[in-house]
Structure 1
Amino acid sequence: MTKNGIEAAIAKLRSEPGKRIELRDDKEAGLLIRAGERGASWSLAVRLQDGQRTRIKLGTWPGMGIAEARAAARVARTQIDQGSNPNERKRVARRTAAIASLNRKTLSEVIEDYDKAVLSQHRRGAQTKRALDGKRGLLRTLLNRQPESIMKAEISDLVKKHAKTAPIAANRNLAYASAFFTGASTKAFWPKIRRRKCASRPRKMSASGFTQSVSSKRYGPPPAHWAIRSPSFFGC
């Protein structure tokens, strides 16, 4: 494999739209370059220690030349020999970077991202968003805070305050908040910081317990089938 050979193959490829080519290196086992309409990239075809075959992306051509690709392939092979999976290491690094980015966002920005990606696709998405950050939303006083700084006790106080005047609405908004925290965490909009710190399972509060906790007896107890199930974020 030479630079001129790669350039000639890519030049020929341009005259055949939709076609892809794959060239294998004759010096570094498993090293290959794949080229198509969108560009060319280096990868290493290897077998992991568990026997699984995989391809490890090394870089793109021409930013990474032949010598650099061969060196990167040797590094990746060394990691595999040591029991590591370079692809998994990259995924962990991306996940760590994503969490760091989320931690720099405010709760308002996280809700907006979640609204665009999830709530906008649901029939009651707009209603759910209003229950979170609307004029009477449960989380509206926390919108400028970073998610990692929000504590369970703050959410609990907001629910109790809301329940003094509108217990049923407070119950409903807590359910929306629960779905948001759980869903955002699952879909990587919300870093799972609180979940790592919480060893206990989410707690379930009975209807009578809810009534007592918010001191709303004068409104009468909520229906028997209503029960508050706090998400893992609240149930530490």
Structure 2
Amino acid sequence: MPTPKEELTVKRLENLIPALQGQRYEISDTHVKGMRVRVGDAAVESGDRRRKGKAAHISFVLLARFKLGASPTRRTLGTFPELSLTDARQKAVEWKALIRKGVDPADEIARVRRDEETARQNRRTLSEILDQYEREKLCNLRSGDATRRALDGKSGLLSTFLDREPSTITRAEIRAKVRSRAAESPISANRQLAYANAFFNWCLREEIVQENPARFIAKPSQEKSRDRYHSTDELREIWVATEKLGYPFGPWLRLVILLPMRRKELAAIPISEIELGDEDATESIWTLPAGRTKNASALKVPIPPLARSIILEAINDKGRPAKSPFVFSTTEKTPISGFAKAKRRLDSLIDRQRIESANEAAVDPVPMPHWTVHDLRTTFTTLACAKLNIDAGVADRILNHVASATTSKLTRTYNQFDLFERRREALYAWENFIRAEVIGPKSEKVVPIRQASA
């Protein structure tokens, strides 16, 4: 008996009656040759009242010679209504096109599935790419750990994209994150944007992405070079507050005042870098290796008596893990961190001191103007040059800057040794100044260094 043909419609499919029990029937579609609907014997028993008693099992099939020379067979395209009539016709047309090319649709479906699985296995998330970036790039940078935290740490710029592929991240999404971060911390947003830009440029070179989504995003904040420095009265307030701060940040901050090196250079001093000498020694030498400096320039740092005593007290402090290789540590294996939290504690102590002093004088307290730990380096340069006549070039070398007049490799290498005695003399004069003007009574004599005649 020939299969009936109809111009199938959705309404017609919804109203098909089920086949006799144990049987099924087919209807050919007049739109696509070879496509049919196959109707089973099950009936709709619940749900849509209008379809109650209608055919429950309706599938689309294609009758064709799927392989060259084979007899015509039926293959299921899908079931209705999960597969719509329109999509079933489109699928049947695509299958027939493959057959004309000598391709079995089943083989093509298997190939597509294999390709999708391969793509899924090769798909790498941003988190995985960042791990590679750290192994190949960040591990070679002194600021590598901080850069990684700025990218995907708790407040990192890319922290919400970690499960996505880097190529799916858009410029609009990065811009929105930068603006959100800038509302909380403008300068931090600038830094995070710079780190993200460098990361995506690396991804470009590695052919991980086709474009850098952080490119062309403007810095959210305008930065100004800082020229804040402390008066001797402010230094005295800071020194007193550090004594109440305790180990490790109290002695660390006092050392930053006496030895105005960079914050992390002092915070991560291994004991092995310091020549402490014997019990009768009054000074020490700190050999700061190039690998731990911002400008990759090694330096021998003279340590005057007061600074040396602070280091010794820190090493012997009960709060320091006895087996730690670092002067300042609370975890034994790593140097101190958490500088922002320590600075807030210090500011709180200074505010409390000012309130107490204001109450005694029956006046309103005035908070100390905003300052950063880095400002202590500027304070050294300003006061040492202005009050102690320390040569600006010597002060620059104490800070481990490379002055513009000494940019050649030969001269820089020479100056590491040539200026040692002058730096030693300057740091002794600075320590005496701190003893007299900051720690002790102002009446103590401070002798400026006489400038050498030209």
- When normalised by structure 2's length, the TM-score is 0.22
Higher relative contact order structure (alpha carbons within 8 Å, sequence separation ≥ 6):
1
- When normalised by structure 1's length, the TM-score is 0.40
